[in-house]
Each structure stands twice: as structure tokens, then as C-alpha cells.
Structure 1
Amino acid sequence: MDTTQLLKGVLDLAVLAVLRDEDGYGYDILRRLRSAGLDEVGDASVYGTLRRLFQAGALTTYVVPSESGPHRKYYALNAAGRAQLAQSGKVWHGFAQTMQTLIGGEAA
């Protein structure tokens, strides 16, 4: 099964989850997503998701100077982002449970 379409539907949730415990800059967030098993996630998709979540008010940003290259723009979850993560997590768990029931052949 091609996971590309599935990933598009859950990328916001995945990015919010990655930022739950620790702020991160773009490449760091991408690396964490891939380390978690989302190997097929694209750079442009993650950066676009970060911009969209920031514009929607779910993330804040700050810049940290770097001695070994350009300054890094860090993203942090704010109260609205934590609320979105909690709500989207509930929706995801319900959906995953429904799919498990369907796939497992159990009656709903």
C-alpha cells in the first residue's frame, strides 16, 4: 500500500506530536519524523506543514544563532497547538480503532 496519501492526512498530527516535548527546527523535525518511521515524508511537505501550522496559530517560532551556519528558526507548540494535538489525537485513535475493527473482521 502506498502510504503517501495516508501521510498527507496525518502529517499535521505527526508534526505536532514531534514538537510536544521538545522544540525543533525544520531539519531536526524532519529527522525526528523519519527516525520515528515516517521514512517517506518529504522535506517540502514538512516545511509547508510547519508554515501552515504557524499561520494557523498552533506554533510559535524563535531564532537561535548558529556558529556553524545560518541561524535556525525553531518551532514550538503553544496552547492552541497542544489543544489541536489533543483533539486530533482523539480523532486519530477513534479512526485507528475503527480501522482495526474493520480489518480484524470484528463486529462494530
Structure 2
Amino acid sequence: MGMIEKRNYENRAKIFTALSDPTRLRLVDLLLSTDEISCSEIAEQLEISLSLSCHHLKVLTEAGLAKNYKKGQARYYSLDRVVLNSTLESLSSFMKGLGTGD
């Protein structure tokens, strides 16, 4: 297995780990419904603390699923739809491969 292929698997594993939490799944769902949103708005909409919201956003950002920028005192987040789509497509291909061995 080449280094690039190994890194690809590691990146996907990090993404799947980030998506394994119910709150982060809700957060991804929220990000899917908007172009960008602030951390405090996310906390309010998900009815969680601001610190918990920031923690979950950090995990998603480190996995490559979320992007952010700072505007004044607020930090705004958006979903990297290309990364999410690519990851889900790779999972779909994997699942199709499992079905071809019959």
C-alpha cells in the first residue's frame, strides 16, 4: 500500500470518527441547511453550551469537514461539501464492492 493510499484511509477514518457522534451529526445536518453560521448560533440552535459547540466544531474542522473564518469576535463555520461527498462516495463504492462477491 502506497503512502498516499494509506493517508487517504487515515483521512477517511478521521472523518468517520468525527461523524460517529450524534451531536456532530446534528451539527453537520445544520451546516447542510446553511451557507455559514456562527458558533454561538449553532449552540443556540442545537441547545448545547457554547464551549460544547466549539469542541464539536473543532473535531469537524480537524477532520476536514468544516471550514471557518473569524469576523470580528465571531467565528463562522461552513461545511466542506466536497470532502463530505467524496467520503460518502468512497463508502458507497466500498459497500457496492461487498455486494459483488455473491
With the length of structure 1 as denominator, give the TM-score of the two structures. Answer: 0.53
* 1:17 and 2:19 are equivalent in the alignment: no
Q: Which amino acid aligns with 1:42?
A: S
Which is helix-richer, 1 or 2?
2
Aligned residue runs from structure 1 range 85-96, under 5 A: none
Match of 1:29 in 2: 42
How many pairs align? 68
Aligned residue runs from structure 1 range 49-88, under 5 A: 49-65=56-72, 70=73, 72-78=74-80, 79-81=82-84
Cα deviation, 1:10-48, whole Å, max 9, x if unaligned, reads 0110111111121111111111112xxxxxx33322211
Name the % identity.
18
Match of 1:47 in 2: 54
Residue 21 of structure 2 aligns to a residue whose secondary structure is helix
Q: Unaligned 5+ residue runs, structure 2? A: 1-19, 90-102
**CA RMSD of the aligned region, Å?**
2.4
